[in-house]
A and B are shown apart, each in its own frame.
Chain A
Amino acid sequence: TQTVSQSDAHVTVFEGDSVELRCNYSYGGSIYLSWYIQHHGHGLQFLLKYYSGNPVVQGVNGFEAEFSKSDSSFHLRKASVHWSDSAVYFCAVRSSNTNKVVFGTGTRLQVLP
């Protein structure tokens, strides 16, 4: 059974700060890892994904994530956040032999001016 956990329910930073949102997964086979963003009252929007190759993947709006097999992690980072980055961020995992995409519990990022 594939699982994904996001240990931080809330993260608060100031505009211009760097941020890292944590994601850990549990699955033994080949998997796809993704991050999505959800602004209040809207659906989820895709940010980036990893399957193979360079473990650091770039996404939209300056986001990047790094895959670590040894840590079973796929943390999301941004060097300098903007107030508009305030949203809920979901990590997601899908094994390569299924179409079921499982989401973590989400991390609410609040960016203060």
Chain B
Amino acid sequence: GPKVLQIPSHQIIDMGQMVTLNCDPVSNHLYFYWYKQILGQQMEFLVNFYNGKVMEKSKLFKDQFSVERPDGSYFTLKIQPTALEDSAVYFCASSLGRKSGNTLYFGEGSRLIVV
């Protein structure tokens, strides 16, 4: 089936540093998402993105977070500066749109450890 690729799969970073998580969504998809999962628990919605803009975001999407997809390349999540509580697995997802019921296709996740 369609594949969403995430780079890196793992990253360890010092608190206060910047990190960028990259996502290569399914090629014809229009909507992009980031979710945060801690210790295999609940998938927490962070943000969704369409047509170059943030559509919706949650309270977890702090001011230190930003997303972009310059020129149709990677869909990125940037955290600057990082905090200890940002340690989690971040999942990128993409979907074709509302007509498909927003069926989400997920990547394998990027495990971020902030020390």
Contacts and interface: CB of A to CB of B under 8 A. Distances in A.
Contact of B104 (A42, A51, A101): A101
Given A43-B108, A44-B91, A101 B4 contact: no
A99 B55 contact: yes
Nearest to A51: B101
A103 B42 contact: yes
Interface residues of B, number: 26
A33 B35 CA distance: 18
B106 interface: yes
A27 interface: no
A66 to B, nearest CB: 17
A46 interface: yes
B91 A43 contact: yes
A45 to B, nearest CB: 7
Contacts of A43: 4, 91, 93, 106-109
Interface of A: 32, 34, 36, 40-46, 49, 51, 88, 90, 92, 94, 96, 98-106
